[in-house]
Amino acid sequence: MGAESTEMMHLIWNFLLTAGAAGVGWWVINQANELKRIEILLNRTREEVARDYIMKDDLERAMKPLMESIEKIDGKLDDFLLSNQK
């Protein structure tokens, strides 16, 4: 009776360890897959930000001719208004 009881305890212990190891393995695999998914989403977000937004230096360079044109128009408008006041 003692040998059968010990054997049954070993069987139960082996089952519990196997189930626990399988659970931990399943959890690790799911975490690794989730990490891959998040990395893909992060890379897509980086690509979208780079595509949709402009860097400050590029914006300033692109706006410089526009601002110069506006200043010329402003100067001409001032000259026109001043000449009409006399």
Co-location of 25 and 42 in the same domain: yes
pLDDT, the chain, mean: 91
pLDDT for 1 equals: 60
For residue 41, the enclosing domain spans 1-53
Are 8 and 27 contained in the same domain? yes
Q: Name the domain count of the chain.
A: 2
Q: Which residues are within 8 A (CB) of 54 and not within 5 positions of it... i.e. 6 or more apart?
A: 62
Instruction: Dig out the tokens for 29 from the structure.
Output: 């695999």
Q: Which residue has the higher pLDDT, 50 or 76?
A: 76
Model confidence over 3-24: pLDDT tens digits? 888 999 999 999 999 999 999 9
**pLDDT tens, position by position, 21-72:** 999 999 999 999 999 999 999 999 888 877 778 888 988 999 999 999 999 9
End-to-end CA distance of the chain: 123
Whether the model clears a pTM of 0.75, i.e. scores above it, the answer is: no
Cα angle 5-10-16, degrees, rounded to a multiple of 5: 125
